[in-house]
Amino acid sequence: MKQPIVAILSVGDEVVTGVIVDANAAWLATQATRLGFRVRLCGAVGDERDAIADALRAAMRDAAVVLVTGGLGPTEDDLTREGLADALGVPLAHHPEAEAQIRAFYERLGRLMPATTMKQARVPTGCAVIPNAWGTAPGVAFRGLRVAPAGAPGEATDRRGETSGGCGDAPGDALCRVYLLPGVPIEMKSMFAATVLPELMALAGPRRTVSRVIRTIGMSEAALGEAIADLMNPARNPHVGINVSETIVTVRINATGDMVEAERLAETDAREIRRRLGAVVFGEGDTTLAAAVGDLLRAQRRSVATAESCTGGLVAKMLTDVPGASDYFLCGYVTYANQAKTAMLGVPAERIERDGAVSESVARAMAEECRRASGADFAISVTGVAGPGGGTADKPVGLVWFGLAGDGGTTVHRMTFGEHLTREQIRDRASKAALNLLRLRLLNPPQANTI
């Protein structure tokens, strides 16, 4: 059975100009994928009537379902209803049910309804209204014949859907559903759950998509891709893909079929990927690196403290972002200035003067003195050049030294993150590298000295 195709459109100048990040499209794509649909398009279009109509026509030629958010408000630049009417070749008409919903909303609030709000009661002829319990903008549902290219053989002359929800007697591949939803997330999600989701579930039938997410650190995207290249064949089910965010490489598995079969396929691939990648896998689903480290510390009943210079407390922040971190995190020292390294940790001033703050010896001393002062089982130290200034030929921007002190001894690690990175990126990558050093030490004490 072919996967039904879904197209997602977001309407609004604020989306196409980058003023806001389009979280609605990502959320809708996730819902559609879980139901077993194939999301072929996620696009955005500005507040222009012709552009909206063109985008809808293009989407409806290919997709069984088109999900649209935004442009349903009462102002002059809210033109999504008009765009759909133009795409269908039908006029807008006053919809009594929509008016009743809008009036009821204002009555519940005890407020006078502005006259301009009645614009939201105008709906393309032949379309149904989707109730909105959270706002004044009713949604719109079109269920009918797919739009064909102008002049195409067999082009439907009457594309209007049925307000009862049926799609007539046309072949399944000639039918299309278009749902217009508000851009306000709470309204969009509520209306999707109440009206759109049940219809999509019926359309999808027993077919579902089961996803697995495997998170890794310490292996490049290219190397990881080579390790699982055969599993990434686009003709396979499951579909396996890779995406990268800073130093975290994520493997996504989407298996499609009936629920039992999809679960089996997804788990089989996940198990094989974990086997091939080994210790670079730190978690699955939404697990963060800090949470994975915390789980290991808790399971082993160990504690950790941090001593940070260039990262300014970011390692400690990542650890304490995880609920329950007090089970294993004792304290953090932010010793940014050289005198603080001496006063707070006891790093000898002459050592800093001789070797520099960004050095193997200072990283070692910071970790060992942090462990001694805190009483933690492990101590992590970070000292480096985050930039954009301060680099030299011997110690360029991006150079970071790490110390890891524990009951198996102290190890020191040198990493260079690249002068092309921003200060924020260097600090973020260095913090994650520090956490990963501790993770590997916990997995393989005390031999795990590199990442």
| Mean pLDDT, range 55-82, rounded to an integer | 96
Q: DSSP H helical segments within 118-220, as ranges?
A: 185-191, 197-204
Query: What's the rounded Cα separation, in Å, for the pair 163 and 288?
Result: 46
Q: Are residues 168 and 298 in the same domain?
A: no
Q: Are residues 262 and 294 in the same domain?
A: no
Contact 149, 87 (CB under 8 A): no
Q: CA-CA-CA-CA torsion for 428, 432, 434, 439, nearest 10 degrees?
A: 170
Report helix, strand or coil for 307.
Answer: strand
| pLDDT top residue among 90 and 172 | 90
| Mean pLDDT, range 296-302, rounded to an integer | 98
Last residue of a domain, one of 151, 174, 204: 204
Average confidence score pLDDT of the chain: 92
Domain that holds residue 256: 207-284
Does the pLDDT value for residue 221 go beyond 50? Answer: yes
* Confidence (pLDDT) at 154: 38
- Output the six-digit token pair for 62: 């290919």
Q: Are residues 213 and 310 in the same domain?
A: no
Does the pLDDT value for residue 167 go beyond 80? Answer: no
Query: What's the rounded Cα separation, in Å, for the pair 13 and 18?
Result: 8
Burial of 171 (0-12, 13-18, 19+ CB in 10 A): exposed
3-state helix, strand, coil in the chain (%, to 5): 40, 25, 35
Longest dimension (CA), the chain: 87
- Output the six-digit token pair for 149: 């290219």
In a domain, 405, yes or no: yes
Does the pLDDT value for residue 165 go beyond 90? Answer: no
* Confidence (pLDDT) at 159: 47
Indicate the number of domains in the chain. Answer: 3
Does pTM top 0.75 for this prediction?
yes
In a domain, 47, yes or no: yes
* Confidence (pLDDT) at 173: 60
Q: Are residues 199 and 92 in the same domain?
A: yes
Does the pLDDT value for residue 449 go beyond 80? Answer: no
Q: Are residues 264 and 330 in the same domain?
A: no
Q: Are residues 233 and 250 in the same domain?
A: yes
* Confidence (pLDDT) at 3: 82
Each residue of 267-298: pLDDT tens digit? 999 999 999 999 999 999 999 999 999 999 99
The CATH number of the domain holding residue 250 is 3.30.70.2860
The CATH number of the domain holding residue 326 is 3.90.950.20
Each residue of 319-351: pLDDT tens digit? 999 999 999 999 999 999 999 999 999 999 999
* Confidence (pLDDT) at 451: 42
Dihedral sign, Cα of residue 164, residue 169, residue 172, residue 174: negative
